[in-house]
Amino acid sequence: MTELITEPSRRRRRGPGVGRPIWMGRPPAVVLALKALALIVIVALIAFPFLIVVSTSLATEAEINAGGGYVLLPTTPTLDAYLQVLAGDVVTRAIVVSLGVTVVGTAVSLVSTVLAAYALSRRGTLLHRPLLTLVLLTFLFTPGLIPIYLMIKQLGLLDSYWALILPGAVSAFNLVIVRGFFMGIPGELLDSARIDGASEFRILAQIVVPLSRAVIAVIGMFYAVGYWNAFFSALLYLNDSTKWPLQLVLRTYVLQGTPIGKEAAEVGVLPPTQALQMAVVVLAIIPIACIYPFLQRHFRRGVLTGAVKG
């Protein structure tokens, strides 16, 4: 009597793991080794320039001259460049300005983006489709530099910190990402809250936002990095050098290589020019480098989920 062999029994006879998609199986040892090698190369390409920057900022003038302007590992490290940079009021004030603009700007951008994304994610809201179309059109057409400057001038925002925040308060890309994430939240959950008498703001604050912490953390990181690294808007809108953020002061250090403002009149023997430049670069990198590890775990979940849902 012929045995009837079904597909499930045939799969069991062939052993576990047979018939699974190729991406679900364990890669061969050669593939794992190549991945490890590629990862090591990428880490080296990123870490090597950073090591040179930190080492040069700690090096003496003799070591910098011997190394042709850059040092890999200083034999006699010194903090003279950092002490010189932080001794005056220019860099310290710029750090405070950058921190303030980053914190306030990120808060304004997150609140605006979350509110707009929630409104655009609920079908049937007022002017839902026209507003969404306008947001998507910004990917194709961007305003020119002169119109933006004239608008900032007409609003009286020149030489104001708000000129660094309001023009880029909402990013269309971030808005689309957050909207896609919100659309992935089950509508039945929101409907049950409405039946219980919850308002839209309460639904957003107590249901939608707690479920969207991953994407909000990612978008917040994007905004924070953008505000912290921005210098071109300050170069356009801030004529008062006492209001300059750290990135604009860093640009001045890189171009001039010497202290500016009050610092330039009070210095005696200066540390090497390259050491001063690299010290300001390190000071500009440290805040973001300290925050990123705490938010890195949210990046994959937040960005991918917001990009594919909806």
Is there a single domain that holds both residue 157 and residue 288?
yes
Is there a single domain that holds both residue 163 and residue 191?
yes
> How far apart (Å, rounded) are the C-alpha atoms in residues 257 and 273?
5
- The pLDDT assigned to 115 comes to 92
pLDDT tens across 49-60, in order?
888 888 888 888
Count of alpha carbons within 13 angstroms of residue 238, beta-carbon side: 24
2 assigned to some structural domain: no
| Domain stop point among 77, 100, 116 | 77
pTM of the model: 0.75
- The pLDDT assigned to 260 comes to 54
The domain in which residue 182 lies consists of 80-308
In the block, residue with structure tokens 């930190």: 54
Length of the chain: 310
- The pLDDT assigned to 121 comes to 85
92 assigned to some structural domain: yes
203 assigned to some structural domain: yes
Is there a single domain that holds both residue 262 and residue 188?
yes
Q: What's the Cα-to-Cα distance from 112 to each of 2, 40, 134, 143, 246, rounded to whole Å? A: 70, 40, 16, 20, 25
Query: Phi and psi of 245, rounded to 5°?
Result: -75, 175
Is there a single domain that holds both residue 71 and residue 98?
no
> How far apart (Å, rounded) are the C-alpha atoms in residues 91 and 275?
15
Is there a single domain that holds both residue 54 and residue 144?
no
- The pLDDT assigned to 305 comes to 52
41 assigned to some structural domain: yes
Is there a single domain that holds both residue 123 and residue 268?
yes
How many domains does the chain contain in total?
Answer: 2
CATH code of the domain in which 215 resides: 1.10.3720.10
3 assigned to some structural domain: no
Q: Give the DSSP H or E segment for 58.
A: helix 29-58
Is there a single domain that holds both residue 48 and residue 112?
no
> How far apart (Å, rounded) are the C-alpha atoms in residues 180 and 302?
10
- The pLDDT assigned to 268 comes to 52
Residues of the chain falling short of pLDDT 70:
1-24, 88, 256-270, 295-310
- The pLDDT assigned to 92 comes to 84
